[in-house]
Structure 1
Amino acid sequence: MKIDLTDTTSSKINKALVQGRRAIGTPAVGMVLTLVIVTDEENAYDALRAANEASREHPSRTLVVIKRVSRSPRDRSKARLDAEVRVGADAGTGETVVLRLYGEVINHAQSVVLPLLLPDAPVVVWWAVNAPLDPAKDPLGALAQRRVTDTYAAEHPIDELSARADAYTPGDTDLSWTRITPWRSMLAAALDQVECEVTSVEVEGEEFNPSVELLGMWLADRLHVPVKRSMSSGPGLTGVQMETNCGPIRLHRPDGSLASLSIQGQPDRAVALKRRETAELIAEELRRLDPDDTYASALKFGVERLGERATAAPAANEKAPDEAGAADEPTAKSSAAAAKKSAPAKKAASK
């Protein structure tokens, strides 16, 4: 069921939600959280579809905030709120309100959203595109226990990743981090099978892919060994090789679907490591609403290294081709990892 409201208010939207629930015969509210999606008109459909699929696992009230900036000065000055209320089959297993903000209302989105939040329920804000540099200080982000961004959608993903590290606040997370969960699980499980010490790691993937960067940060942070970054044509992450005193351990995924795990002294194994859709990533993030300390540790570990890379980039362009390639590696050995090189490597890299 859909109810369209033009030039409306938050109180009228709440009344429409009650009216819609009664009309379909489900007056009781059985939702567990409020998911606020901040997006633009172009990406709203995909974001809402992902949220609806995730609602099968996490019934929620989904509020989609679309800030409409008019090109006409006359229309730009007129404040207006339009809403589309969806309940029943049109809203997955929860409720959906699509909010389109015009004029001065754009600068006060939190005032529109606040009366629509479910009482006594957690709030998660997800910026599908155009996330603020400091999500926790954003007016909408201040309403939430968890703030989800996606550096992969940014114009300059590596710079965005560095900004996320500088502004990190407990409760922040990123879908680029969520994408590497299967990789982290697989690598940790592989290390649990051997009695070896890791001496170095090489991470291979697309250039300027934040998930590749984060995996390298996590490995360097957990294992205290140098991590080298290698480029590939993708898709996404394509391989990790860990050198140990018992022989190499390699996880290779050339096609974005099926990976091969090789451990010295054991037969090679094919493992499913498919690239996941946005709905699966959002569903995973909604399973936990506490701060992700592992993400924070890996992110902060890479701040200094990312800063050094940005400083060294102009000088690297003046070097010979082979030297420039080494200087431009996003996850080359960090100074922190080098200082700890003599320390014994940890056996497991689990969270």
Structure 2
Amino acid sequence: ADEMEDYRRGREKSKKTIQELTRSMEDISHFTGLELDLDEIRKCAYIKVRFGSLPKESYEKLDFYNENPYVIFFPSSHDETQYWGVYFAPIDQAAEVDRIFSSLYFKRVKLANYKGSPETALKQMEEERNAEGKRIQEADSRFSAQWKKERSRCCEIYSRLTERSVYFGIRRYAARYNDSFILTGWIPADSEEKFKTSLDPLQSVEYTFENAEDNLNHSPPVRLKNKKLFRPFEYFIDMYGLPSYDEVDPTPFVAITYILLFGIMFADLGQGLVVSLLGHWMWKKKKMKLGRILIPCGICSAVFGTVFGSFFGFEHALDPLYRG
């Protein structure tokens, strides 16, 4: 486990280094046209150097500062919207020059601490990135070899832990009496025989059944049971709150009124068919519960649309059909 954790940490470290190098390479690639020694520039004590980019509109405005001998921008590359380059300023004029370039929306780019020209630094970064990539491949190879070696043992440990987790999960709901555990719960009445069949082979298990009607004070769980047409509308009942065990299930009433009112208010033959097809697609392809509700609603809308003579918003489109 410690070895695998070391592999994981080493891989994450190399991956992070590659991301940082990629960003640095992207930054410095804009300045490869400059014949400058980055290390020598950093040693300048009386001159401030700023690498960065200017918007194209701001670059064109530099002509307005021709009278200021310190406002000079040396471009190295550009695209349709930006110019990348560098400007220099004496240390006593740096604040004023920085203010001017800031007003021109100059975006500074801080280059990594590499020696030589930007082109040399870019090659060095690429070599380092490739080296980190090889480290990741080596770590993956070692991890795969270690996993093949320890796979059976890891699977065995995982199976034991999963089994123990199930046992401890059951214990949370169990009461203890002498050397026995007692579990109480609810099952659907029509599942009683199936429940007996599954427990009968277990010699150490005893069970008893009680009628839910005699235990209403314990709030039996509610399971809605409706016909196929009404079943999708259980979605709304679940959303707003299930009825108590001894209360009436409102699902059929909600389903009938919802379908009828939707059809009356959205009466249109063409649009109703579209809604129904859309609902069928949502249910079959996306497994969305709302799709099963839209299918009967769309059909009802199409029926009332036929009655009212509406077809895709044209309220008299079906008049010739009636007259005929």
TM range (shorter): under 0.3
As a proportion of its length, which structure holds more strand? 1
* Larger-gyration structure (1/2): 2
- TM-score after normalising by structure 1: 0.19
* Greater share of helix: 2
The structure with higher relative contact order (CA 8 Å, sep 6+) is 1
Please, what TM-score do these two structures have when normalized by structure 2? 0.20
